[in-house]
Amino acid sequence: MARKMGFYAVLAYVLYGFLVYWYLFYLADTSLPFEYQGSKADPATFMDGRELMLSEEYSKVRNLLFFLSAPLEWLIYFLILLTGLSKAFKKWGKDTTKNKYGRVAIYVIWLSFFSYLATFPLSYISYNLSRTYNISTQTFASWMKDELIDFWINYGMMLVIVAVLYLLIKKSRRFWWMFAWLLSIPFTLFIMFVQPILIDPLYNDFYPLKDKELETKILELASRAEIPSEHVFEVNMAEKTNSLNAYVTGIGSNSRIVLWDTTLNRLNDDQILFIMAHEMAHYVEKHLYIGIAGYLLLSLVGLYLTARLMNWLISRWGNEFKIKDPGDLASLPLFLMILSMLAFASSPLSNFVSRYQEARADRYAIEMTDNPEAAITSFQELSKAGLSQVNPPLLVKIFRYGHPTMLERISRLEEYEVQKRNNDS
């Protein structure tokens, strides 16, 4: 039975991959609606022929990799259960040490290592793709360094989470999901608080903005937005990417404004000020805290559904999965698989809310800077630097885009520009 389930799971993944490929490469229409052709949102007006071709090619492959990655994760966890690997990981921990937390540590390291190796080919293809299209400038050694940092940070957090989670399951079979959710609140806030000062510097060097004249302009903008910030930070991303970015990160006293050096190198001051005003809007309108509240609400529902689904699946296919009850550490791949599926299923909703917030931030930024030309050209440069599709396929927008499409963003700015011109005349 387990062999048959594994075969059908692999077959389903292969068929799913072909369907996604067919949709992205043959069915989806990314052409610009007639009414936008020739407008400033038309990529033909700010990209040359080669850039247009590369953006379509790169976006299609990148979107394909995105849609393949999450189901591949589910398949790996499913096969780890069916093949008895999860049970073996647990046995290795039990044979190695008598300490129950040591056993958890050994189990989690084996599961993390095996999962990483199984997904590594897709990760490498994604890295190599970005190198091929000159999005990434990162050497393989530098990329592997970041991958290893990711691995150990994720391992450390998972070790804590798993140890607490299975302790709760054993203490309360009915309400462990509620206790786990309550503990996740301070844990999430703590991670967000320490990320700018402890986690982010592991990947890149952060230092005060060198251009003091630009820093003064940004801090003046922050003062108008009533954002308590004394410094703007610059991060050295040029050695890793040609993409552009800027953001406001952290919570409480650790909040900071960050600019990628690629953004500083490619955009002028007016364009940067628009982008910074956009990021400041998230702070002003409390989008970060709304996002935290939304995440916590979704995680509550997700943990409840995960608990119910785990009980049902184990009662029905426990023998095939080689697990007897949810409190068995060997059930962790099932827990992770269900949680990942629910996160993927909820992504259209979270992306919809995010796109609404991003549209609000665009509106705030243009009203604060009152420079539609700088705003439009900044989005055009962002599209060129990232080889982004201006009008992506519908499913890509629903599942991938936490921002409005560039077609939507630039066309709205054009409308504002027309209104401003009419008001001035």
Asked whether residue 344 is domain-assigned, the answer is: yes
Which long-range contacts link 220-223 to residues 24+ away (Cβ below 8 Å)? 221/273, 221/276, 221/277, 221/280, 221/368, 221/369, 222/257, 222/276, 222/280
pLDDT at 326 over 70: yes
Q: What is the mean pLDDT of residues 190-216?
A: 87
pLDDT of 418 reads 80
| Residue 327 counted as domain residue | yes
Q: pLDDT for 40-88, tens place per residue?
A: 989 999 998 899 999 999 999 999 999 999 999 999 999 999 999 999 9
pTM score = 0.91
- Is the pLDDT score of 24 beyond 90? yes
Is 266 among the domain residues? no
pLDDT band at residue 424 under the 50/70/90 scheme = low
Terminal Cα-to-Cα distance of the chain (whole angstroms):
76
Q: Is residue 137 part of a domain?
A: yes
- Who contacts 246 (Cβ-Cβ below 8 Å, separation ≥6)? 257, 258, 259, 260, 263, 272, 275, 276, 279
Of 31-35, 154-158, 252-256, 409-413, least confident by mean pLDDT is 252-256
Number of domains in the chain: 1
Reply yes or no on whether 320 is catalytic: no
Q: Which of 279, 328, 381, 408 is catalytic?
A: 279
Percentage of the chain lying above the pLDDT 90 cut: 62
Active-site hit among 215, 261, 328, 362: 362
**Residue 345 and residue 368 in contact, taking contact as beta carbons nearer than 8 Å:** no
358 is in an annotated binding site: yes
Nearest-angstrom CA–CA distance, 182 and 176: 10
What's the pLDDT band for 233 if we cut at 50, 70, 90?
confident
User: Does 217 fall in a domain?
Assistant: no
Q: How confident is the model at residue 227 (pLDDT cuts 50, 70, 90)?
A: confident
In a domain, 13, yes or no: yes
Domain assignment of residue 25, given as a range: 2-204+286-424
Q: Is 282 annotated as a binding residue?
A: yes
Q: Quick check: is 150 catalytic?
A: no
Q: Does 380 map to a domain?
A: yes
Residue 233 lies inside a defined structural domain of this protein:
no
